[in-house]
Homo-oligomer: A and B are copies of this chain.
């Protein structure tokens, strides 16, 4: 009818509860199988199958077949960002799914957002890296300074490998819980991976929540120079 892209098509894709659950589960960045996603969505595998094909032709997910398994993941970071933005609207309008369960405060503190760290800790890390001159921000474009280069390398990140990959090293991503920017992109993923390897924090299986250990939290804050 009117001009512009067909926004209703994809919005209605996200609008079904089962599909929204599937997409939410994929927000961890991990690729999941069709049966796992059926469990997440609370529907049978047949139903999930039709949902998954719709998501795929809609361009929201991509599929990799491996033997008799089918691994589904989000089509890209832009999809994850739209989902986070929608969560921001939903949270702002006061439409929380559960009346703030016990997991909610953990989620606000630290969670996985498409394989990088989000929540208060993610924001604190990003802010500290900007304050210390490791990251330079210019609009949506974030660049790693020479000092930042040294810093992340010293932290154990294989920067050369990241730069070889085609995905951007640094990206900005917006939080639904605090409406602030945090670090996404290859570097964001690498940092979270390193934090997990060091045992500072652990993802909770089947959830986006990330739990820091007491010692790990201290080490994390010291390493990145997070004050207060």
Complex Cα distance, B79 from A93, in Å, reads: 11
Asked if A197 CB lies within 8 Å of chain B CBs, one says no
A93 pairs with B59, CB closer than 8 A? yes
Q: Which residues of B contact A12 (CB under 8 A)?
A: 11-12, 14-16
Q: Which residues of B contact A90 (CB under 8 A)?
A: 5-7, 9-10
Q: For chain A, residues 158 to 202, give those with C-beta under 8 angstroms from any C-beta of chain B.
A: 172, 174, 176, 180-181
CB distance from A223 to the nearest CB of B (A): 21
A86 pairs with B7, CB closer than 8 A? yes
A24 interface neighbour in B7, B42, B82, Cβ under 8 Å: B7
Complex Cα distance, B3 from A207, in Å, reads: 8
Complex Cα distance, B7 from A208, in Å, reads: 15
Q: Which residues of B contact A9 (CB under 8 A)?
A: 90, 95
Asked if A103 CB lies within 8 Å of chain B CBs, one says yes
CB distance from A9 to the nearest CB of B (A): 5
- Top 10 closest pairs, chain A to chain B, by CB: A12-B15, A59-B93, A5-B90, A8-B20, A15-B15, A11-B14, A11-B15, A6-B97, A5-B91, A139-B181
